[in-house]
Chains A and B, each alone.
Chain A
């Protein structure tokens, strides 16, 4: 799931999450560089493989 973050102050505070209202064209905002996307971060609790000794 994508999250959107504000780049342009015309949309709000840059860096804040952008929650689109009904009917807003997300693709146009992305194309115009007004918001950015970021995939939802997965849990960092995934264990890494043990190192071989």
Chain B
């Protein structure tokens, strides 16, 4: 029996059009439909229907204060909305396919950023969560 699995290798990420792939160490896309209960007396089991979508993307980036790096790209996004794109492969961002889909979250809100999140002698990282927005998946 063939087993197909995926490990993340050389994925690509842009935040607000800025390619931050080489600063990113992890990413999670949450594609969520809120569940609304519509169970009635006629049901013997709980029943649900789809409500609003509540999508989000969480990323971990190495912090860098150099020109064009993490801090310059992220700081002014706090309290605003932006677009994030991600693909399991670098090529997927420009030429998405069924095996390298491109996910785009448009209108995602960034509420918080930690400009300094560091421990002595360790590489500084920041965790960002972009909430809300419309998630689309492109395969061509």
Contacts and interface: CB of A to CB of B under 8 A. Distances in A.
| Genuine A/B complex | yes
Interface of A: 7-11, 18, 20-25, 27-29, 31-34
Interface residues of B, number: 19
B18 interface: yes
A51 to B, nearest CB: 46
A33 B106 contact: no
A22 B133 CA distance: 12
Contacts of B19: 10-11
Contact of A28 (B77, B106, B107, B133): B77
Given A25-B81, A33-B67, A34-B68, A20 B76 contact: no
A29 B68 contact: no
A11 B67 CA distance: 13
Contacts, number: 60
A20 B83 CA distance: 11
Contacts of A18: 17
Given A32-B72, A32-B75, A25 B80 contact: yes
A10 B16 contact: no
A1 B79 CA distance: 26
Given A9-B68, A10-B73, A23-B81, 5 more contacts: A24-B17, A28-B77, A31-B76, A32-B73, A34-B18
Contacts of A24: 16-17, 82-83
B77 A10 contact: no
